[in-house]
Amino acid sequence: MAQVHLPLAPQRGFGETSRPDNWWVEPLVVFLVLSSFLVYVNWAVLQGEHFEHGNYLSPVYSPVLWGDSKHAWFGQGKPPFWPSFLLYTPAMLALVGPGGFRFTCYYYRGSYYKSFWASPPGCAVGKPHKTYTGERAFPLIMQNLHRYFMYVTLLYLPILFHDAWLAMWFENPVTHVEEFGIGVGTLVILANATFLSLYQFSCHSFRHVVGGFKDILSRSPVRKTLYDCASALNCNHQKYAWTSLVWVAFTDVYVRMCSMGVWTDLRIL
């Protein structure tokens, strides 16, 4: 039987396409939102102040392992291993796990590959690269650490909910005794922990860990239930990824504005 050799599609120039739609809108929006988030968070990390207000603690700085804060776990000031000549803020340690988890996220890979590296900028759109090495070399080989960052960030969720619990206790200005209450900031911090949990539990790696590698999942009813729940959440992983990203920044802004006296935290209870 004769073999038919079809010619390969011609290599398109950068941005060249026959698509009639506005394919560039999505990667442009992703670029602008992610860039804005990165600029703001890096600025917030370097500030080292106004990250707490009463018992409110910004998620960008949680947990405070070392630092000038009443929330510090191990002591005031810099960690004993931190070089004296380097700037230190508590967020520099707090963001290692969440930052690595989000940077290596399967969903975000597709987003910033298109938006930042144009690899490619869109389906059937020409890219500026002539070769493709995949995720076998630095820096993209770091993407393979996603599962391990997921294990680390699972430890953050109870900490964030504990922060939400602390945000429900306010000092009485007369008796100086902490009393239960609900403020707008309480709801903001609780919503942040909830959105991050949805993002975490809808993760592709989490779904695989709880049951994706089982040959006959029905023989493990508990794991099958977890797998089904993670699969249902996974359908909205993109929404949870963006919602949690924006809400982390908003929560930091809220705590920062209250700490600076720009905003007044309203009490509900």
pLDDT in tens, 187-235: 999 999 999 999 999 999 999 999 887 788 888 899 999 999 999 999 9
Can you give the length of the chain in residues?
269
Q: What is the mean pLDDT of residues 173-190?
A: 94
Rg from Cα positions in the chain: 23
Question: What would the two tokens of residue 175 be?
Answer: 């008796």
Contact 122, 23 (CB under 8 A): yes
pLDDT for res 24 = 87
Question: What would the two tokens of residue 80 be?
Answer: 């004993």
DSSP string of 110-141, one letter each residue:
HHHHHHTS-SSSSTT---S-S---TTSSTTGG
Q: For 27-74, what is each residue's pLDDT tens digit? A: 999 999 999 999 999 999 999 999 999 999 999 999 999 999 999 999
> Mean pLDDT highest for which of 117-121, 139-143, 176-180?
176-180
Q: What is the mean pLDDT of residues 106-112?
A: 87
Q: What is the mean pLDDT of residues 256-261?
A: 97
Q: Which helix (H) or strand (E) holds 168?
A: none
Q: What is the rounded distance in angstroms from the CA atom of residue 109 to the CA atom of residue 141?
A: 12
Number of CB atoms found within 10 A of residue 81's CB: 6
Sequence ranges of the domains in the chain: 25-127+134-260
Number of CB atoms found within 10 A of residue 213's CB: 8
End-to-end CA distance of the chain: 81
Q: What is the rounded distance in angstroms from the CA atom of residue 47 to the CA atom of residue 36?
A: 17
Query: What ranges in the chain are assigned the alpha helix state H?
Result: 25-47, 91-94, 96-103, 106-115, 146-154, 156-166, 184-201, 204-207, 221-234, 237-260
What pTM was estimated for this model as a whole?
Answer: 0.89
Which of the pair, 3 or 74, is modelled with greater confidence?
74
pLDDT for res 9 = 55
- Which residue, among 215, 212, 228, 173, has the nearest Cα to 54 in the 3D structure? 173
